[in-house]
Structure 1
Amino acid sequence: MRVNVTSAAAPRPLVFAGFPANSWAFALRTWLAMLLALYVSFWLELESPSSAALTVAVLALPTRGQGMEKAGYRLLATTIGVIAAIAIAGIFSQTDGLLLAVLAIWVGLCTYVTGMLDGNRAYAAALASITVALIAVEQIDTPLQVFPTGVARGAAIGIGVLAVAIVNEVLAAPSYHPVLANRLEALQVRVSDFAQNAIRGEASSATIAADMLRDIASLHPEIASLTTESSSGTARTAAARTAMVDLVTGLSLARALAVLPRPVAAAQDDRNDSESSLTMICRDVLLRELAGSSADVRSSLEALRTGTHPRRQWRAPLYRSRRIAAEGGVRAAIHFMLIAMIFVTAGWPATELCLTLVAAIIGLSSTVPDPRGFTRLAVFAMPIACVLAGILKYLVFNGVSEFQLLAIGLAPVVIGAALLITLPSRILSPIGRLVLVFMLLVLAPSNPQSYDPQVFVVTCLFLLLSAVLVFAAQLLLPSLSGDKQIRLLVGEARRDLNRLDSRRAPKLAPGEAAFRDASRIAQIMTANAEPATKHQAAAEIMRWFDQAATLRRCRAELDRLPASPLKEAASAARAALTLRDENAIMAAAEALRLIAAAHNIAADQALAALVTAGVAFQPSQLPSGSSQGKRP
C-alpha cells in the first residue's frame, strides 16, 4: 500500500469564518487601497473622488500582476474614451437626437471590438464606451466642460491605480505566476493521462478532448498579466504561452495516436504489409513526438517558475468570429438607442447617470459568454447595493463628515464584498463585485457628503430602472443564442479547413495554428447552449481540428524534405492532400517511403504525418450526422 506522504504533510490553510487567510488578506488590501484613494482625492479636492474608489473596486484582484495589467488597460481605455468624448461632443453638441445616435454607434463599435478580444483587452474596449457615455452625456448641455470633466476623471482613476499599486506593494500581494504554473501543470497531467489512454488503445471522447482544449485556451487572457508582475514578467509570459501551445500540440498528437490502426501481427499480402510498415513508422514517430512535447512543456514550466525565457517561443493567436462580434455590436447599439429614447422622451431626472449605467451594463455584458445572465445578476445586485448605501449614508454616517467614520463604515461592506469576489462560484463572485461597484456608485463618497434623501431615493429608483430596461431590451432583441453561435463557429471551422491550402490561410506554425483552433473550440464549449448541442458539436469540431492539425504537420514536414530526389514524391503527396482522399494519401506515403528507402534518406517524420492525415480523412472518422464530401 502506497501512502501519499505529500498530501499527508501538506499544511492546512488557516480559515476564519469560512474564508482562508489569503482571502482575508485580499479583502483587507482592497479596503485599505480604497481608503487611500478616497483620502488623497479629498485632500486634492478632486471633482469626482468616487471615481478613485470605483477604480479600486474594479481593480480588486487577488494578485499583483492581474491588478496592474487591468489598471494599464483602464488608463488606456479612459484616454481613448476622453478623446472620443471630446470629438463627439464637439461635433454633435447642438444636435441632441443625433448625439444620442452617435453614442449608440460608438457603444456598438466598442462592443464589436470587445467581441474580437478577450480578457482585460475586451474590458478596455467596453470601458471606452462607458467613458464616452459618462463624459459626453453628463455634459450634453455644456460641451465646453467635456475636457475638464475628462481630465478630472483621468486624475481620479490615476489616484485609484496608484493606491492599488502602493497597497499591493507594501502588503506584499502574491504573484500570479505560481498559480498559473500549478494550473498548467495540472493540465499537463490531464494531457499525459489522455496520451497514456491513447497508447493503450482505449477509446477517447471528443467531448473530453474539447473540454481540455477549452481549459487550456481559457488561460490565454490570464497569461498577459505576468508581464506587469515583475522585471522577469516578459520571460514568464513567453514561457507560459509556449507551455500552453505545447499542451495543445501534445493533445493533438495523442488524438492522432488514438485513431491509428493497431499493427497486424502477420501481413497476408503486399498491401497489408505496406500499410503495417507505415503504421509502425507512424506510431514510433508519434510516440517520440509525444515524449518531446511533454519534455517541452516541463521545460517551459521550469522557465515559468525561474523567470527565464524558454528554449523556443510560440505565439498563441486568438480566434474570434467577426460575424458574431458584428451582430453583438449591432444589438448593443439598438439596445442603447431604445433605452436612450425612453429616457429622453419621458424627460425623467438623473438621465445622464442612468444612460451611463446603461452603457456600462451593455458594455460589460458583452465581455461574458451570456450577456443576459450578466444583466440578470446586475438587476439582482442593484437593490442590494442601494440598501447598503442607504444604511451607510443614513444610519452609519448620518450627517457627519469625519474621514475616520467613513473608513469604519466602509469596512464591513467593502471587506464582505471582497470576500465574495474570492469565491469560485460563478454567481456569488460577480455579485460581490457588482454590489461593491454599485454601492460606491449610489453612495458617491464626496467631501462634503450629500444627505438629501429625495435625491438618494430618485437615484436608486432610476438606477434600478436602468438595469431593468437593459434586461428588457435584451429580452426584446436577444443576443445570438448559444446554439446559433455554435453553428456559426462550426461552419467557420469547416470553411477554414477547406481554405487551408489557399493563400488566405494564416501563416502560422502548426502548433500556433492548432492553438488558434483550440480557442475557437473553447468558445463553443463555453457557449450558453444545451449540453446535447455541445456534445454533438464537439464530435464535429474535433474532427475538423484533427484534420487541420494533420494537414499542417504534413505541409511542414514535406517542406523539410530534401528537394532531390524526393521532389516528385513530395509533390504527389501535396496533390493527394489537396484532394483530401485517404487512399491517395496512403498511396503517396508508400511511394515516398520506397523512394526514401532506395536513396537511404530519413523521411519518417513526413511519412508519419501523411499516415495520420490518411487516417483522419477516412470516412469512418466522420462524426455522426456529418455530410462532408471530398474536396473538389
Structure 2
Amino acid sequence: MSAAVAPIPTRFDRWLDRIEAVVPAPSAWAFALRIWLAMMLALYAAFWLQLESASSAAVCVAILAQPKRGQALSKALYRFLGTLVGAALAILLVAAFGQDRVLLLVSFALWLSLCVFVANFLQDTRAYGAMLSGYTVAIIAVANIDTPQNVFDSAISRVAAITVGIVAITFINDALASPTTWRSLRASLSDVRDRTTAFAHACLTRGDPGPEVALAQISAIAPLRADAGAIAGELDDGPQRAAGARSAIAALYAVAARARTFATAIRWMGTPTPAVEEARAICADLTGGEGRPGAEALAEARARLCSLLVAAVAQDEPDVDEVVALQRALDLARALDFARDGLGSLSEGYRPLRDVSLPTHRDFAVALRAAARIALTFGLTCLLFVFAGWPATSFALVQVAATGALSALNPDPKKFANGVLIGMSLASAFAGIVLFLVLAGGQGFPLLAIAMAPVIFLACFLSLRPATFGVGFILLVFFPVLVAPANPQVYDLQVFLQNALLVILSAGILWLTVRLVLPVSPERARRYAFEAGRWDLRDALVGEGGDATTRTSLNSDRLFQYAQVNTGPEPVRRRRLELAFAIAHLEASAARAHAQLRALWPDPALRPVTIRARLLLDEGPAAEIPDAARDLLRAAGGRGTEAVLAAARATSDLVAAARIIERHRRFLRRLGLPGL
C-alpha cells in the first residue's frame, strides 16, 4: 500500500502561515491591553494626586509588565521593598555628603556596586529588589545633586509613584483576569515530567544516553524554577503550591540523575543479577507508557525494591555493585513519588511531603567583577561628563546606573546592551513622533492615552518574544520617561532633544563597557565554574557537602549554566561536559555517603567501619573504598531493616565515588583533591 502523500500547500496557505508568524496571538493582545490600561490608570491617579513625577507611576507599571499575575505580584513586592531601602539610603547619603559632590558620587558608586554584588547571589525577583535599591539612590540623590534640599520630597514622591503603579497593575490584572502563574506552571511541569520519565525509561531500557542528552533534560527542567518562586502570593494556599512545585522540580532533577546512575551501575556489573533485572523491570513499568504511576503503584514498587535490597545485603558475601544498582532503582522510585506528590500539591494546594529549596549556582568571581564593572562604569562616566562640561548630565548618570545594574544581572550582558541601544533609539524616535507630530501641543488626558497606545502595544509584543525581549522592555520603560507626561503637558524641543541624546549616549556607554570593562569571556566563565565545583567537591569529600537534595539541584543548575559557556569544537565540548557531570556526580555521592555514615555512627557495632569509610573518602586511598563498603554491609547485616537500608544507601554512594575516582583519576589529581 502506498503511503499517504501530504497535500502541497497553496500560495494562500503560505501567506496565512507568514501572517500568523508575524501577527501577535490573542493572548499577546490581551497582555498589551492590560499593560496599556494599567499605565493609563497609574498616570491618571498620579495626576489626580498631583505627584511630582507622574511618569514614574507609568514607568513602574512598565517595569512590572509580566504576562502572568504571580510574576507581577512577586516583582511588585520586591520593587516596593527595594524602593523603600533606596529612598532611605538616598536621604542618608545626601544628609551626610550633600555639600560634597565627589563624596556623594563615590559613596553612591560603592553602594550600587554592593547591591549588584549581593543581587548576583540572590534569585529572581529578590535579585531585582536588591539591584533596584541600588539605582533608586541615583534616581533620588544623584538626580537632585544640584538641589539637595529637594531630596526628601523627591523620595516621598518616588515611593508614592511606585505605590500607585503597583496598585494600578494589580487592580487591572485582577479585573481583567490575568493568567495565573500556577496554572501555566502546572501544564509545563506536567509536560516536563512526561519528558523526564521518558528519559528515565530510555536509560533503563537502552542504557545511559550520554551527557548531551542528560543536559537537554536538565535544560527542560531549569526554566521552571522562576515560576515556582512566583506563585506563593497568587492564592491563599499559594505557599503550599509553591512548595509542591519546588519539590516536584527537585524530584525531576533526581529522576534524571538516578536513571543515569542506574544505567551506569548495570554497566559496572557487566551481567545483571536476577534481582537487578527485576528492579529494572519494575522501574521500566513505572516510567513506561504515560509515566504517571499512582501512589499505590509507587508504594508497592518501593516495598518490593526494599525487599530486594535487604535480601542482597543479607547475603554472606554481598555484591556491592548489585547493592548500588538496587539502591539506585529504589532512589528512582522515591523520586517518582516525590514528583507525583509535588505536582498534586501544585494542582490541589495541599501540603507536600517535603519542602525543599532550589539553590542556584553563583560564582563569587563573576559577582565581584560585575560589582567592579558597575563602579568603574559609573566613575568613568562621571569623569567624562565633568571634562566635557555638559549641563544637566545627572539625567544620563541615572540612566547609566540603572541600565548598568540591569545588565549585571543579565545572563548575556552583551546581548542586553544591544537591546538597550536599540530600545533607547526607538524610544527616543517614538517619543519625538508622539510629542511633536501626534500631540503637537495638544492637551487632554484622552488624547495622550490614545497617542501612547500604539507604542505601548508594540513594546509589549516585542517583550513577549525571547529574541526581542530586551528591545521591547527598554522601549516600554523609557518611552514614558522621554514623553514625560505632565499636567499640563510640556512641549520643549530643546529639552527633549537633550534628554534623548543623553539616554542614547548612556546606552552607548553601556554597550562599550560590557565589552571593555572586566568582561567575562566564556573561557573565564568555564574556569570560574570549574573552580567553584572543585571547592564544593573538596567540601563534600571531607564531609561538609550539605543536604543531598539541595546539592542535586545546585549541581543541575551549575551544569545548565556551564553549558551556556561551553564553546569550542564538538569533541572538546563533549569532553568538558563529561568532566563537569563527573564532578557533580562525585560531589553528590560523597555528600550523601558522609550524611548516611554520620547517621550510622551512633551504633557502636557500626562505628569503626563508618569511621574508616569516612577517612577513606577524606584522605584516601580511594581504591580501598569498595572494601570498606563491603565491611559496612557485613556489619549492618544483622542490625535490623533500618540499619541495613541506611548501610545500603551509604554503600551505593561510596562505591559510586570510588568508580568515578577510578575513571577520572588523572583529571581529579589535577584539581588537587586530597587522597588522590
* Cα deviation code 1:368-396 (max 9, x no counterpart): 11222211211111111111111111111
- Quick one: distance in 2 between partners of 1:341 and 1:412? 39
Residues in 2 aligned to 1:513 and 1:568: alpha-carbon distance in whole angstroms? 27
Q: 1:365 to 1:529 in 2, by over 3 A?
A: farther
Aligned to 2:306: none
Q: Tell me the TM-score normalised to structure 2 length.
A: 0.85
1:216 aligns with 2:216: no
Matched, 1:288 2:330: yes
Deviation at 1:478, TM superposition (A): 3.6
Q: Which moved more, 1:476-485 or 1:110-119?
A: 476-485
Whichever residue aligns with residue 368 of structure 2, its letter is A
Q: 1:323 to 1:203 in 2, by over 3 A?
A: same
Please name the residue that 1:194 is paired with. 199
The answer to whether the 8 Å contact 2:181/2:227 transfers is no
Return 5+ residue gaps in structure 1 as ranges. Answer: 1-13, 268-272
Q: 1:551 aligns with which of 567, 590, 593?
A: 590
* Count of residue pairs brought into register by the alignment: 610
Measured after TM superposition, the shift of residue 215 of structure 1 is 4.2
* Unaligned 5+ runs, structure 2: 1-18, 275-314
Q: Which residue of 2 aligns with 1:380?
A: 422
Q: Could you say if the C-alpha distance between residues 183 and 460 of structure 1 is closer, same or farther in structure 2, counting changes exceeding 3 Å?
A: same
How far apart are the structure 2 equivalents of 1:625 and 1:497?
Answer: 13
Q: CA deviation at 1:240?
A: 0.9
The answer to whether the Cα contact below 8 Å between 2:32 and 2:456 also exists between their aligned partners in 1 is yes
Are 2:134 and 1:129 equivalent residues in the alignment?
yes
Structure 1 residue corresponding to 2:618, chosen from 569, 578, 584: 578
Q: Deviations over 1:51-72 (max 9, x none)?
A: 0000111111011111011111
Aligned to 1:11: none
Contact 1:213-1:522 within 8 A present in 2 as well: yes
State the distance in 2 between where 1:414 and 1:398 align: 19
Report the CA distance between 1:530 and its aligned residue. 5.0
The within-5 A match list for 1:354-393 is 354-393=396-435
Further displaced range: 518-527 or 546-555: 518-527
Q: 1:50 to 1:629 in 2, by over 3 A?
A: closer
2:526–2:566 contact (8 Å) kept in structure 1: no
Change (3 A) 1:598 1:53: closer
SS of residue paired to 1:349 = coil
What is the distance in 1 between the residues matched to 2:542 and 2:226?
30
Pick closer, same or farther for the CA change 1:564–1:326 going to 2, 3 Å: same
Residue 530 to residue 275, structure 1, CA distance change in 2 (3 Å):
farther
Aligned 8 A contact 2:70 2:233 in 1: yes
**Which aligned pairs between 1:60-75 and structure 2 lie closer than 5 A?**
60-75=65-80
1:93 paired with 2:98, answer: yes
Query: What residue identity is the alignment partner of 1:554?
Result: A
Q: 1:331 to 1:530 in 2, by over 3 A?
A: farther
Hey, what does 1:7 align to over in structure 2? none
Matched, 1:436 2:479: no
* Structure 1 CA distance for aligned equivalents of residues 21 and 536 of structure 2: 53
TM-score, scaled to structure 1: 0.91
Asked if the contact 1:198–1:258 (Cα under 8 Å) also holds between the matched residues in 2, the reply is: yes
Shift of 1:356: 0.6
Q: Which amino acid aligns with 1:78?
A: T
SS at match of 1:302: helix
Structure 2 CA distance for partners of 1:190 and 1:609, relative to 1, 3 Å: farther
Paired residues of 1:582 and 1:613 also in contact (CA < 8 A): no
Matched, 1:468 2:475: no
Distance of 2:429 and 2:596 partners within structure 1: 65
In the alignment, which of 269, 278, 302 is matched to residue 262 of structure 1? 269
Is the 1:579–1:630 contact (alpha carbons within 8 Å) kept by the matching residues of 2?
no
Alignment of 1:382-421 (within 5 A): 382-421=424-463
Q: Deviations over 1:9-53 (max 9, x none)?
A: xxxxx9797222221111111111111011111111111010000
Partner amino acid, structure 2, of 1:467? A
SS of the equivalent of 2:269 reads coil
Alpha-carbon RMSD across the aligned residues, in angstroms, is 2.6
Q: Which among 28, 33, 39 is matched to residue 44 of structure 2?
A: 39
User: Residues of 2 paired with 1:137 and 1:592: CA distance?
Assistant: 66
Q: Deviations over 1:337-383 (max 9, x none)?
A: 00111112212133111001000110000111122221121111111
Are residues 467 and 96 of structure 1, via their aligned partners in 2, closer, same or farther at CA, if it must alter by over 3 Å?
same
* Deviation (angstroms), 1:275: 8.7
**More deviation, 411-420/190-199:** 190-199
Once residues 163 and 43 of structure 1 are traced to their aligned partners in structure 2, the CA distance between those partners, rounded to angstroms, is 14
Letter in 2 for 1:439: F
Q: Distance in 1 between matches of 2:435 and 2:640?
A: 85
Deviation at 1:587, TM superposition (A): 0.5
Query: Partner amino acid for 1:511?
Result: T
User: Equivalents in 1 of 2:640, 2:503: separation in Å?
Assistant: 77
Partner of 1:175: 180
- 1:4 aligns with none
Counterpart contact for 2:421–2:507, Cα < 8 Å? yes
Q: How does 1:614-629 map to 2 (within 5 A)?
A: 614-618=655-659, 619=661, 621-622=663-664, 627=670
| CA shift in 2, pair 1:497/1:83, >3 Å | same
Given the superposition, is the C-alpha separation of residues 240 and 586 from structure 1 closer, same or farther in structure 2, using an over 3 Å criterion? same
Q: Which amino acid aligns with 1:206?
A: P
Q: 1:227 and 2:232 equivalent? A: yes
Give the one of 521, 525, 529 matched to 2:559: 521
CA distance in 2, matches of 1:420, 1:473: 25
How far did 1:520 drift?
2.6
- In 2, Cα distance between equivalents of 1:386 and 1:628: 52
1:308 matched to 2:315 = no
* Cα distance, 1:609 vs structure 2: 3.9
Q: SS of the counterpart of 1:396?
A: helix
What is the CA–CA distance in structure 1 between the aligned matches of 2:272 and 2:477, rounded to whole Å? 68
Query: Quick one: structure 1 residues 629 and 136, their matched pair in 2 at CA, closer, same or farther if it must change by over 3 Å?
Result: closer
Name 2:319's counterpart in structure 1.
277
C-alpha separation in 2, matches of 1:113 and 1:147: 26
Cα shift readout 1:243-263 (whole Å, capped 9, x = no counterpart): 122222222322321221135
CA 1:623–1:217 in 2, change beyond 3 Å: closer, same or farther? farther
Partner of 1:206: 211
The range that moved more, 620-629 or 210-219, is 620-629
Letter in 2 for 1:355: L
CA offsets 1:561-594 (integer angstroms, 9 cap, x no match): 4714323222222223224544312111222223
The alpha-carbon distance between structure 1 residues 89 and 265, as it changes in their structure 2 partners (threshold 3 A), is closer
SS in 2 for 1:317: coil
- 1:15–1:45 CA distance, 2 compared to 1 (3 A): farther
Looking at structure 1, the residues matched to 102 and 610 of structure 2 have their Cα atoms a distance apart, in angstroms, of: 65
* Matched residue, 1:6: none
1:472 shift after superposition: 2.1
- The 8 Å contact of residues 207 and 264 in structure 2, kept in 1 or not, is answered as no
Q: Which residue does 1:341 correspond to in 2?
A: 383
- AA aligned to 1:247 is L
Q: Within the alignment, does 1:112 sit opposite 2:117 as a pair?
A: yes
What's the offset of the Cα at 1:606? Answer: 2.6
1:603 aligns with 2:644: yes
* Aligned twin of 1:493: 533
Distance in 2 (CA, whole Å) between partners of 1:599 and 1:136 is 69
User: What is aligned with 1:537?
Assistant: 576
Deviation digits for residues 452-486 of structure 1, max 9, x if unmatched? 11111121112111111222233332422232122
| Equivalent position to 1:22, from 17, 27, 32 | 27
CA 68–534 in structure 1, closer or farther in 2 if over 3 Å, else same: farther
Three-state SS of the structure 2 residue aligned to 1:227 is: coil
Q: Are the aligned partners of 1:52 and 1:159 in contact in 2 as well (CA < 8 Å)?
A: yes
